[in-house]
Structure 1
């Protein structure tokens, strides 16, 4: 299938890209890896008059530890996340999500901003990023703003990004001692398939008695956006981490999700798997929190 006609722009700085988006607004689309956009354009779902390529903006293709945050440029590819030593050491749940995403060909092209900005309910990166407490940095000619990823998604394909804004970077708090996270996805196949269920869990332990003082559990593929399992999180607070409390949290998480039936799996199956994956990701998070 042929692509619709469009004008192609290739800015070399964020400011230049913002000026272009400010000029054309809804008539323009940003492209980095293009793994979603090109498919939708070929299917005639989208027909932007202007494409704004972000590939030459070096500032968006980096990762660095900045004080108590790890700052990941929006153009950083999923493949780079899978092998980055900083991600492996401090954001292992994010790396697990990156390794689960698509195939090697897709990972080589897909970017962190694209995976977030596409707002797919089954996307691999948002659950772990939300679990870590990440925020998205949005830039336009009007200035820069930061929004928690927990509040970023509005529905399938819809986010808080305005038509003239660019998701330039993702800021993730550096996990402290006694904190850990885990991520697991479940699909029909290992690659090039949409997740049936995916779950990320984060816990922070009290350094005095080892009890759980903070918990975030994020479920994907079981609602219109990544969902927080709030009653499951409440179940954990103040408790000593063990198999019984993780199992109880998993049972609570089943009540927090709103899956649908489709050809990949029944809603009842998804609910059951949410319980299992919640328990398993909490066990991973606990092991990482205690440094084992």
Structure 2
């Protein structure tokens, strides 16, 4: 195990040893190592990197690789302005791993059971990374190639996540349904950010879904629907249809494809109504 002191040093080590891996929180990697017959040739532990560079152009919430789930749960802007993310964080899992699990590590693992990416997609997050060929950015919705694999260049290191400030008329939420224990993998999850007019019409927003798809994804048609200026009562069913059309459910241990399809509609419609009700009670609608 090696301990680089900078992000650049870390990516150079990763490039020099193709079978190496980064270690951040370790909540995904360590169980994988125990199950694997061939551990990585080199483990690059990021814990001693003291300074993570925040790009000057970043505006909004900045999450660096040292930020854990426990850190973000008590972050005031998250609780007051980014309800979708805060709600996803509260469903993360056991309190025992929250102080260890890092946000960027969770995204980089690209695990199907991951609970945070769907909220970040809805919130319009941007992922920053470094690699031996240079730095880059990618939208959260474009981060995932397939389960366990991202679209980042080989050996790239996520150096931060930016979540833009929401507009004052926008409200967000997150909802998941599980088939077993509260800490089990969700059967379906959805996150939404919705911008409302004073008279209760939907002016814009994003909707994202997970666990009924191979990877978390934005429901692209939902953005167009939300820009039509329709009342909430007329949007709910249409967004439910859009969410169902965007998924690719499979049968697995937890649920059948048919059940996931039905629950995607249920979760989406409940979520939209919940976000609208929250906007109404907070004075966002008149």
| Fold match by TM threshold 0.5 | yes
Aligned residues: CA RMSD: 2.4
Q: 1:236 maps to what in 2? A: 226
- In 2, Cα distance between the equivalents of 1:247 and 1:148? 28
Whether the 8 Å contact between 2:58 and 2:162 is mirrored in structure 1 is no
Quote how far apart the aligned CAs of 1:65 are: 11
What is residue 93 of structure 2 aligned with on the other side?
Answer: 102
Evaluate the alpha carbon distance shift between residue 36 and residue 86 of structure 1 in structure 2; reply closer, same or farther with a 3 A threshold.
Answer: same
Choose 241-250 or 149-158, whichever is displaced more. 241-250
Residues 75 and 111 in structure 1, CA contact (< 8 A), matched pair in contact too: yes
Q: Does the CA-based 8 Å contact 1:179-1:205 persist in structure 2?
A: yes
Question: Which of 20, 27, 30 is the aligned partner of 2:22?
Answer: 30
Instruction: Provide the residue aligned with 1:3 in structure 2.
Output: none
2:205 to 212, 215, 223: 215
Equivalence for 1:285: 275
| Residue in structure 2 matching 1:269, options 259, 271, 275 | 259
Give structure 1 stretches of 5+ with no counterpart.
1-7
**CA distance 1:186–1:58, shift in 2 (3 Å):** farther
Q: How many residues align?
A: 282
Counterpart selection for 2:168 from 162, 177, 185: 177
State the 4+ residue runs in structure 1 displaced beyond 4 angstroms: 62-67, 287-290
5+ long unaligned stretches in structure 2: none
Secondary structure class of the residue paired with 1:219: strand
The question of whether the paired residues in 1 share the 8 Å contact of 2:201 and 2:232 is answered with: no
Deviations 1:259-284 (A, max 9, x none): 11112011111111111211222233
Residue of structure 2 in register with 1:14 after alignment: 7
Contact 1:181 1:284 in 2 (8 A): no
| Alignment CA distance shift 1:119-1:20 (3 Å) | same
- Aligned equivalents of 1:63, 1:161: Cα separation in 2: 19
Comparing 47-56 with 14-23, greater Cα deviation is found at 14-23
